[in-house]
Each structure stands twice: as C-alpha cells, then as structure tokens.
Structure 1
Amino acid sequence: MSESTAVRVDPSNERMLTAWNGNEGALWARRAQRFDDGVAAYRDTFFSAADIRPADNVLDVGCGAGQTTRDAARLAVDGSVLGVDLSGEMLGVARRIAGEERVPNVSFVQVDAQVHAFPEAGFDVVISRHGSMFFGTPLAAFANLAKATRPGGHLVLLTWQPFGLNEWITTFRTIFAAGREVPTSNLALSDSLETEALLTSAGYTDVRCSAVSKPMYFGQDVDDAAEFIVEQHGGRLSDLDEAARTDAVEALRADLAGHQTDRGVFYGSAAWLVEARRP
C-alpha cells in the first residue's frame, strides 16, 4: 500500500494529499531550509503569541519539515509536541532533523488534521505557521482542532494577507504570467473578518487577527534566488516557447537585482497573526 492510500483524508482534501504527498511536498522537503529561512523574520512574533509554557502539550498543524515543531518543543521542555502534515517526505525530513538535533519530546504523524481523531482536549496550544490555509472544508477542520484544544487553551496561526498586499507573490505571479492573465485568487484565511467568523463558528472565542509585515528572504544573491524561485514557480512557463521562457527568467533576474541587499534578496510580505482561545 502506498503512503497516499494509507492516509485517511476527507474527500475535500484529496487534491491536497496528491500535491503535498507528491511533487509539491518533495520540493518543500528538498528545500526545507530555504523555505524556513524565507519566513524567519516572523518567528519571534509567532512564538511570542503562542506563549508556550514548559509543561504544555502542543499540536503543530501543517508542520512540514518540522522547524516550528522543534522550536515549540524547546519551549515545552517538560511537555510534548506533535507535528502533523500530509507530506510523508517532509515528515521524513522532520524526523531526521529532530534526531540530529536531539529534540526528544517531538513526534510526527502523517494525517489529515481535518478528520484525524486527536485526543479530546489533549493540547494546551495549537499552532500553525502557514499550514492551515489548505483545508477543503475549513469549518470542519477548525471544529476538529477546537475539540482537541483544552478549555482555556489557545490557537495561534500565521496566514497570508491578500496576495495584493504581498510584494513577493504579486511580483512572481506577474513575471511568470509572461503577458498572460495574472492569477488573482487568494489563499483561505486571507480575509480577517471571515477568519474571525470561521473560528468563532468552529468553537473558539476571543478571535483576533493582527496585521504583521516582514521582509521575506529568497536567496543570498540573484543567482541563488533565481534558481530557487524558478524551481518553485517555473512550471507556469511550461506551455511557452523557449524565447518566452528565457524572457520571463531574465525579467525575474532583473527584478531580483533590484531587491538585492547586503544580507541577501528580500521582498515585502504581509501576514495575519491569528489568535483565539478555547472557552
């Protein structure tokens, strides 16, 4: 039996399982450190809000290669942290690094957090750094997470604001559209009022979305950043001829050069810090 068929998912999440347990997850596993470095500027804000105590039991949703899981475990030194994700390959990276770094109080499970039977009221804190925006049925997913959060426990999410407020994605979408229509769709949880209503309906209270803007890192120089971005987004050029593909990559490199600093290549980004409590 393959890993994909072994994972029980809600039918609405089958497409996400195919992506994250397939090519998408393989890319993120291969480039785990770069993806973590990209959003590193959000770390302190995120964990300050999470307010993890030494004895806490923590659930990390969409944990990927496990950096936030390990960071949480170093705070919950007398507790435990469970990281869950759909990507078997990323979880393999997470387990390997946790072993190398000797973080003993973490575990990782490949499940669909929308339907997995977590221990009822089993977690003091539920966190997700950009991993909670992909549920097929968000209300069911967050109701399941609320059930797993102990009364008085809290939820902390980092989600993207609308893409129009994120310089990095609007720039890359425009360049890789190469003169075609630029995609305008946003990820879920990008509308703060909708997010507040969603989490309230799911069983949380005191929901608050705070706007946070940080520089996002893409590479040490133009060559490094271009290689990474093309690896991630270059499939959007596959239906173009060679000349058009070359032009798009050159346009990317020119834009990256304008964002080069002495610390690397950075673009502006905008996120929501979402906080909620389980009554």
Structure 2
Amino acid sequence: MTVAEAWNGPLGRHWAAHPDRYDAMLDGFDAALFDAAAIAAGDRVLDIGCGSGLTTRMAARRAPAGRVTGVDISAPLVGRAGELTDAERFPQVDYRLGDAQTCAFEPGGYDLAISRGGVMFFADPVAAFTNIAGALRPGGRLAFICPQPAQPDGEERKALGLLASLLGRDHTAENAVATAMASLSDPERIHQVLGAAGFTDIGVTGVSADTCWGKDAADAVGFFVSRAPGLTVSDATRAAMTEALLPHESPRGVMLRAGVWVVTAHTGRRASRAGRDCADRAQGSCADGAQGLIRQESRDSP
C-alpha cells in the first residue's frame, strides 16, 4: 500500500473522524511550530499536509489580514478541514486536495510555508521542497516539524511497539506511513534536501513534549485498536495492552514523551545541480558543509 492509498483509505478516514484526538497528540509541539513561523497579520501562508485543518485555522487567527491555504493528499481530511473551517468562519482560508510535490502553486504567491508533520511523505523530497520554494516570494520563510529518530528506550517508541506486538497483526497502512515518517529524521538529511531545493539559513532545533493518547489507559487502548478496522481483540490482549500503558497515566491523561525537529529556512536563489547531487548521497562528502546549528529543547504541555 502506498502512502497516498493509506491516507485516502481507513487511516485517513480515522484521522478525519477523530480530529480532536489526533490534534491532542500533537498540540505539545504547536507552540514551537508557531514560534518558529512568526506569522504576521498580513502574511500569505501555505500549510503543507494540513490534515483536518487545525494548524491552518491557527495560522488564520495569526494572519487576519492575510490568507491561508491548506493542502493535503487525503480527501477525507481535506473534506473534514473544510467542514471545521466553515463552522468557525474563516473567509481567508481555502483548501486544496493534492500532493504538494506536484501542485501548481502560484509562483511567489506566499510569504511562508508551514507544516506540522506533513512533509515526510514525498516521493521525491527535493522536487517537493523545490516546488514549495517556488510558491514562496523571494526571502520567503519555511517552518515545519518532523519526527526525531525513534529511540529504542523512548517512551512513545516502547509503548507503541508493545501495543503493536500484542495485537500481533501486520497493519499495511500503518507500516507505509510509519516508514515514511522517518524520512527526515536525520538533521543532515534535512540540510541536504532543503539546500538542494534552494533554501538557505537552515536551522534545526530539537524539541521534546508529552503526547496525549487518551484520558486513561483503557481509553488509549480503545483508540489505538480502532485504528485497525475489523480487528477483533481478545479480552486478555486488551487487558495486557491496558496494563502496558498504566505507568503513563497522569491527571492529564496517558502521556508519552516524544521528540521532533523544528526546522526553519528561507528561500534562496535557485537549487544547484551540485546541491541536488548532494541530497542524493546521504553520506556524501559534500554534506560536510551542510551541518547547521542543532539545539535541544524540552516543552511541557500545559
């Protein structure tokens, strides 16, 4: 199954049906993203991989005199984003169904592109970011977050890995997305891809925060299992999964610590062929000059 098929199949429909649950998992990183984006009142903002549109609407609140376009490859999510945005009445917001790698954006039509975990799924990352750069005005800005490498002893990795092993089933859609999620987990790779796409002033900052998976362990397990439609889980397996999450219960819910990269950049003149060649060689010698400042921060959810 391809990533596009996953996001337009059961996985995408599940995200569209439960936007509040998924947004709660990610809201610990929202402040870091929007601090980096520094949206001005009149900015024209492009939200890549906008999902159900929460970050699009957050951008619109910060740019009341501008405009915000959300783009996503998932038809269920774009449909849901439109419904939620209409309910909140944001006249300066519109949505596009499509792949940001190939969308025909207005050249120089935006001041800023943002993404909350929506830029890891491109078939050709350099081509995708080149297309995004073309949509930005000269000196335009880019701000996005993407996952850090999964740590074997990390809370989220250990808990979710245990849940998956207890289920004992191969989830094709989940696997396709999980594989793509790691495509920009290496900061060196981020520098290579963005540099080849014509971006400059690239910065990468590590941020960790708590992610909320449910109000308690039983609720989190129920939600996790519901991501695999048609799956039958025995009482014994459900009990074992619940027990595995009990250590992570808190007054705020089931909280699992996770880390992301907050990435910022500006548009440059043009991607060079040497830069594209560099991006194609993850370990190439031309990567020596790609290293930028990498900092680590920790944020606690309110």
Tell me, yes or no, whether TM beats 0.5: yes
Match of 1:6 in 2: none
| Match for residue 61 of structure 2 among 71, 74, 77 | 74
Q: Say if 1:31 and 1:169 are closer, same or farther in 2 by CA, change over 3 A.
A: farther
Q: Say if 1:131 and 1:199 are closer, same or farther in 2 by CA, change over 3 A.
A: same
Q: Deviations over 1:36-78 (max 9, x none)?
A: 0111111111101101111110000000000000000111110
| Match for residue 160 of structure 2 among 172, 177, 180 | 172
Q: Distance in 2 between matches of 1:278 and 1:170?
A: 38
Calculate the aligned-residue CA RMSD, in Å: 2.3
Q: Distance in 1 between matches of 2:10 and 2:30?
A: 27
State TM-score, norm by structure 2: 0.80
Amino acid at match of 1:203: G
Gaps of 5+ in 1: 1-13
Are the equivalent residues in 2 in contact too, given 1:63–1:84 (CA < 8 A)?
yes
Are the equivalent residues in 1 in contact too, given 2:69–2:93 (CA < 8 A)?
yes
Are the equivalent residues in 1 in contact too, given 2:48–2:115 (CA < 8 A)?
yes
1:197 aligns with 2:186: no
State TM-score, norm by structure 1: 0.87
Identical counterparts, % of pairs: 36
| Match for residue 44 of structure 2 among 57, 64, 69 | 57
| Match for residue 226 of structure 1 among 221, 224, 240 | 221
Q: Distance in 2 between matches of 1:253 and 1:210?
A: 34
Are the equivalent residues in 2 in contact too, given 1:163–1:170 (CA < 8 A)?
no
Pairwise CA distance, 1:177: 2.2
| Match for residue 272 of structure 1 among 261, 266, 269 | 261
Q: Distance in 2 between matches of 1:27 and 1:181?
A: 18
Pairwise CA distance, 1:180: 7.7
Pairwise CA distance, 1:230: 1.6
Are the equivalent residues in 2 in contact too, given 1:123–1:153 (CA < 8 A)?
yes
Match of 1:160 in 2: 147
Q: Distance in 1 between matches of 2:81 and 2:157?
A: 26
Pairwise CA distance, 1:103: 1.5
Amino acid at match of 1:171: A
Match of 1:209 in 2: 204
Q: Deviations over 1:70-111 (max 9, x none)?
A: 000111110100000011111111111111111111000101
Are the equivalent residues in 2 in contact too, given 1:207–1:274 (CA < 8 A)?
yes
- Show structure 1 runs of 4+ deviating over 6 A: 179-184
Are the equivalent residues in 2 in contact too, given 1:146–1:203 (CA < 8 A)?
yes
Q: Deviations over 1:181-216 (max 9, x none)?
A: 999956211011111111011110011110000000
